[in-house]
Structure 1
Amino acid sequence: MSMNRRKALKTTGGFGVLGMFVAAGVITPQEARAQQAEWNKAAFEAKDVNGTVKALGGDAAAASDKVTVTGPDIAENGAVVPVGATTTLANVQMIALLVEKNPNALAAMFNLTADSEPFVTTRVKMGQSSDVYALVKADGKFHVAKKEIKVTLGGCGG
């Protein structure tokens, strides 16, 4: 069956990438809806690290020297700041990146499998200079580290 672009977009409209998997027959529509339901809205709406930890089901995050935040000391353009996190902790289940002074602190969250290397990297938008936190869930406990990143040109039109 030949599917043109317009038909593919109509078929996958509300699902994005998951819709492409549905259209290709890789997953069922029920599985796609279940994966979308797993999105934790409260965590992404939290304003700080403690609020994010509570939204993710934890009590508090302990500062850890086994978690490292990577990123530039000075970012010339806050619209695309490369940040990442790595850890030497065992049994890592999740790594999240938070930007303290952004309207919503949680910028990215990565669920990892036991076979994954505990290292993530992405680009985030920063409106101003801020601390960037790496929040790691390992063995059911939360660990955190931070790094200050200075922004010379704000990513939110500043």
Structure 2
Amino acid sequence: MTDQSDSANWSRRGVLAGLGAGVMLLAMPVRADDASVAQAITDTFGHTPRRDGKITLKLPPLAETGNTVPLTVTVDSPMSNTERVKRVVVFANRNPRPLIAIMTFGPKAATAEFSTNMRLSGTQDVIAMAELSDGSVWQTQVRVLVTVGACDTLQLRY
């Protein structure tokens, strides 16, 4: 009579089910949450106090697809030698990675404005933050309603 432990009695079906479940867990997209966005902001700007204002963030209130969402950021600044925008950072609180973009403005930049397209995983808040030459940090936030998320669907389709 042989003594067989439970771990040695795995069926082929049980092993395949376990492997399938593991693959599904790996394929599921990980989303940022408010804590990871807060950590990304702290990593980028430290504990500098943030104020609302000076930034205009233009995004569509409703995006039919998250594959390409237009974004325009404008910062109210004279862009002089003494007062100018050093950088603008964009965050999204439900994308796989919270940090979306960093735009740096050199001393000869005439305006603190840029436009681009971004992908959004679903309905979420987009946060733009600007660091000025005096060290102050300004922020604004806009919610975008996305009907079909980009980051989730493309991983499964392609």
Q: Where on the TM-score scale, by shorter chain, does this alignment land: which range?
A: 0.5 to 0.7
User: Corresponding residue for 1:150?
Assistant: 145
Distance 1:132 1:61, change over 3 A: farther
Cα deviation, residue 153, structure 1: 1.1
Superposed displacement of residue 57, structure 1: 4.2
Percent identity between matched residues is: 23
RMSD over aligned CA atoms reads 1.9
Q: Tell me the distance in 2 between the aligned counterparts of 1:52 and 1:92.
A: 20
Q: Secondary structure of 1:148's match?
A: strand
Q: What residue is the counterpart of 1:47 in the other structure?
A: 36
Please say if 1:58 is aligned against 2:53.
no
4+ runs deviating over 3 angstroms: none
2 CA distance for matches of 1:78 and 1:123?
A: 10
TM-score, normalised on structure 2?
0.64
Which structure has the greater CA radius of gyration?
2
CA distance in 1, matches of 2:75, 2:56: 6
Looking at structure 2, the residues matched to 78 and 144 of structure 1 have their Cα atoms a distance apart, in angstroms, of 23
Aligned length: 112
RCO higher in structure (CA 8 A, sep ≥6): 2
Partners of 2:69 and 2:55 in 1: CA distance: 19
Contact map agreement 1:95 1:120 (CA 8 A) in 2: no
Q: Summarize the Cα distance change of 1:73–1:57 in structure 2 as closer, same or farther, 3 Å threshold.
A: closer
1:136 equivalent among 116, 125, 130: 130
Structure 2: how far apart are the matches of 1:57 and 1:73? 27
Cα-to-partner distance string for 1:73-128 (whole Å, 9 max, x where unaligned): 10111011111211113410001111111121111111111222111121111111
AA partner of residue 93 (structure 2): E
Q: Which amino acid aligns with 2:128?
A: A
Aligned-partner SS, 2:65 = coil
Q: What is aligned with 1:96?
A: 89
